[in-house]
Amino acid sequence: MKQDRFHGRVNSSARPCDFPGCAEPGEFRAPGPRGASFDGPGDYRWFCLDHVREFNAGYDWFEGMSAEEIIAAQNPVHGWDRQTRAFSPTAGIDQAPRWGDFADPLEAISARARTRRPAQRKDGRAVTPAEREALETLGLELDADRRALRKRYSELVHALHPDRNGGDRSSEKRLQTVVEAYQLLRKAAAFA
């Protein structure tokens, strides 16, 4: 692809202009009817210089957005306000290393990474970090069996649920984490 003084021109294009009735070569790419999404970059239209100018003059990127969505899209940090796992303060790892305990920062980082490896139960089954965290939430040992899991879950639900503890709603968040931990563990291979 060779480009010349007009930014975006593709000279080697053998495509005709997508404007109805135009016989000029389509050397400029413009957004098509299907925009970019998770499935790919979307469709493009190819226009000659005159028709791409006409298309650009009437193109409205904000078409179909509410006033709040337009303001949010114009914000300089639009899209940067969400934390991804990799860029969260913990980078998806339980806690930051205690830097003072290590002479070399790389040792601290490798020690931090080692803490995320799957643990092994006595029966040889691996327990992922998420499953280990769920076990801690329920107050169970690494080698707990399915029966102990059900028993502990039942005890915690009985103690934390507002219908069971006299209407006390102060422990609803804890109950939610207990339910999520149980749902994770009951499907885990270590408890099959």
Q: Round to whole Å and give the CA distance between 188 and 140.
A: 15
| DSSP per-residue string spanning 100-153 | GG-SSHHHHHHHHHHTTSPEE-TTS-EE-HHHHHHHHHHT--TT--HHHHHHHH
Residue 151's pLDDT is: 92
Q: Where are the domains of the chain?
A: 1-82, 85-116, 119-191
The three-class DSSP label of residue 47 is strand
Domain 119-191, second-level architecture? Orthogonal Bundle (1.10)
Confidence band, pLDDT 50/70/90 cuts, at residue 22: very high
Residue 180's pLDDT is: 92
pLDDT at residue 9 is higher than 50: yes
Quick one: which H or E segment has residue 183? helix 172-186
pLDDT tens for residues 57-109? 888 878 888 888 888 888 877 666 666 655 665 555 556 666 677 778 777 77
Residue 182's pLDDT is: 92
